[in-house]
Structure 1
Amino acid sequence: MALRFLVVEGNTRSAREAHKAAYGNMLSESYADVIQDIERTAVCDIAFPTDEGANLPDRAGLESYDGVVLTGSHLSIYDRTPEIMRQIDLMRAIYASGTPSFGSCWGLQVAAVAADGDVQKNPLGREVGFARRLRRTEDGRGHPLLEGRPDVYDAPAIHLDMVTALPEDAVVIATNPVSEVQAAEIRRDGGTFWGVQYHPEFSLAELAVIMRQRAELLIREGFCRTPEEVHAYAADLTTLDKEPTRFDLAWRHGVDAEVLDVNRRTREIRNFIEHRVKTEKSARVRA
């Protein structure tokens, strides 16, 4: 029987339309593509909780899914707008449903706040392009979320906000010098969430599009000096996406197979499907 996923898009309508115009997919559609590349027969529905009046599943509807995945977003959760509060409420319902859940970046932040954690701007500034020197914590050693990852690795990333206080029933699985919480497990109301602050779902081509969209921001914050520098960096990422064997570009940008090999880059999503979704689906069937 095919696995059923709900992919929760974190962006508002205008932001997701802009991303689709630039890349061809919304973030949620790209995430669904990654899931279906991993699990060919998977069925993915998409929810848009930022839209007023959106038809969102209740607890019974959430229980009918084998897994729920939360995307990134341009929003900042401490703003607590109606678009944000609907996502927090949905995440609380996901916990209560007991359905396995996973999220990247914004997804981790929503899951933390929905379980009474906290998220604020990172005083060290934005983490852009790649999260470097990610490493397992003591609690992360042997955790199935990071199965197959080396002790230290890099991953695509772009964020300013970070989890600053974890909920009571949570553990940090991975960390780095920029953000203490780079991967975590959070338990709440009978549900368990696995999440990462980085983006294992991003192809380098999608990351390149995001960099281009944020060119002015990257210049203002000092990551690049001119629009030409931003576009040159993005062009290299696009080339690496098409030609991951380009050693010259990989060397120039300091990336290895953990970023360039799609199976390794998406490791956390694969582990979520294998160790949470399939395992719990099997348990439900036996029950």
Structure 2
Amino acid sequence: MSDLNILIVEGNIREDSEFFIKAAGASAADNLKNLILKIEPSAITEIINPGNDDETTNALKDMSKYNGIVFTGGAMRINDMTDVIKKHINFASNCFTQKKKILAICWGLQVCSTAAGGKVNPGKNGAHIGIASDVIINNEGEKHFIYKDKKKIFTSPAFNFDEVSELPENAILLSSDKVNNVMGVSFRAGNSEIIGLQYHPDYEYFQMLKLIEGRKERLFVNKNFLNEEEYESHISYIKSQNELLDFNDRTCEVRNWLNYLRN
């Protein structure tokens, strides 16, 4: 196969992208693009935003040129079901009519799961605020290519308030943690194969710390933290995990997926 051609689907509206750029140094799509090019320097990437009808129309016309599609994370919440969110879900549905390999991260997983008939709701057991601790790969996950060479129990950057509460039909659960049952999942929708991750192999903890700092007021309003001491303790925990972060283990799902595109 020649150089991989990958479509990256931005998960944020412009206002949220500006916040991500200020806090994390890049939009969600650019951050993912940077990681892909670090792993696969010869890859060709194209970024679109489903909120822009012209971009999605053109992408769907040229869908055959893409070896794979990545749906990135983002700050929207499915159950708000705005017109823009509907466009994200509709674009995913249109992608499913093609024979495509799709990697769906965080918000991307929630979009693709909804488009495939699953359901998304606020997390019953709380939220991941910058980190997901002790994610456990189950027996199905150990057999799946996405977790090749991954530690069976791992901690990862993560940031989500919602979870996939009902999986699409015939989905295979790959990993879970105490906060979200659905942390890694594989399913088919239409002609496409989707691998979904409810955490961020594409982000580093220092970026998560910046995102937390930028959302601090909202996190207190939403009672994710009850007091300053609890907040500072969580920040200290993430910093301690940052010292243990290993690039190859953190990013291996993206690397495995890129290798899979070559098959």
Q: Which TM-score applies when normalising by structure 1?
A: 0.84
The 10-residue stretch of structure 1 (179-188 or 225-234) with the greater mean CA deviation from structure 2: 225-234
Residue 90 of structure 1: how far off its partner (Å): 1.0
Residue 215 of structure 1: how far off its partner (Å): 0.8
In structure 2, the residue corresponding to 1:173 is in which secondary structure? strand
The 5 Å alignment of 1:218-237 reads: 218-220=219-221, 221-223=223-225, 225-226=227-228, 233=235
**Paired residue for 1:44?**
45
The 5 Å alignment of 1:43-122 reads: 43-51=44-52, 53-56=53-56, 57-122=58-123
Residue 160 of structure 1: how far off its partner (Å): 0.8
The Cα RMSD (Å) is 2.2
Distance in 1 between residues matched to 2:229 and 2:50, nearest whole Å: 34
- CA distance 1:71–1:231, shift in 2 (3 Å): farther
Q: Which TM-score applies when normalising by structure 2?
A: 0.91
- CA distance 1:113–1:267, shift in 2 (3 Å): same
Does the aligned pair in 2 maintain the 1:211–1:230 contact within 8 Å?
no
Residue 184 of structure 1: how far off its partner (Å): 0.4
- Percentage identity across aligned positions? 27
Distance in 2 between residues matched to 1:193 and 1:228, nearest whole Å: 37
In structure 2, the residue corresponding to 1:140 is in which secondary structure? helix
**Paired residue for 2:256?**
271
Residues 34-57 of structure 1 deviation map (CA, whole Å, 9 limit, x = unaligned): 000000111111101124x44214
> Where in structure 1 are there 5+ consecutive unaligned residues?
238-248, 280-287
- CA distance 1:21–1:256, shift in 2 (3 Å): closer
Residue 195 of structure 1: how far off its partner (Å): 1.2
Larger radius of gyration: 1
The 10-residue stretch of structure 1 (212-221 or 161-170) with the greater mean CA deviation from structure 2: 212-221
> Where in structure 2 are there 5+ consecutive unaligned residues?
none
In structure 2, the residue corresponding to 1:55 is in which secondary structure? helix
**Paired residue for 1:240?**
none
- CA distance 1:29–1:203, shift in 2 (3 Å): same
- Aligned residue pairs, count: 260
The 5 Å alignment of 1:109-258 reads: 109-220=110-221, 221-223=223-225, 225-226=227-228, 233=235, 250=240, 253=241, 257=244
Residues 213-264 of structure 1 deviation map (CA, whole Å, 9 limit, x = unaligned): 1111333324363399559938x96xxxxxxxxxxx53xx4x674xx11111
- CA distance 1:142–1:218, shift in 2 (3 Å): same
